[in-house]
Structure 1
Amino acid sequence: MQQILAEPAWAKKLNDEDRRGLTALFWSNINPYGTFRLDMDKRLDLGLPVSVPHPRFAEATAAAS
């Protein structure tokens, strides 16, 4: 396709909008970030919940309340 589009006869026929339309043909099958398949019906197994540590100082306790 690149060879055909490089020919002067085609270069004169295609305008900027035509070239933008062709861009999707080349880039629509490329995903630079990989594929992430999400199953929203399952929960992630993150293990047991971790307890949150208590504040170290009395001032932090007073500020939180």
Structure 2
Amino acid sequence: MVESWNRGNQVIFFGKGGDIATNRRDEQELSVLCLRVLQAALVYVNTLMVQDVLTDDQWAKRMTTVDHRGLTPWFWSHVAPYGEVRLNMNRRLSLLIAP
């Protein structure tokens, strides 16, 4: 799990192969803080998506105790690092499962 998350960090913090590209301490701190904000945002959105799936009765019936123990918001397989993101600032992002 940790190895996967570290790979995800390299994907979202992709400049210079995931390395901090400066020797200046203030710029290094800013880079690390930005990475932490990205991580927190990703975990928050993932948590919302997992919650939406768990409210679905069909999934609730399929989930076992082992499945519940294995739930984690630390995943990034849905991240498209080189894809296009289209934002509509006039409406909220709906994370609910479509009927």
Report the TM range for the smaller structure's normalisation: 0.3 to 0.5
Greater C-alpha radius of gyration? 1
Which structure has more relative contact order (CA 8 Å, sep 6+)? It is 2
TM-score (norm 1): 0.34
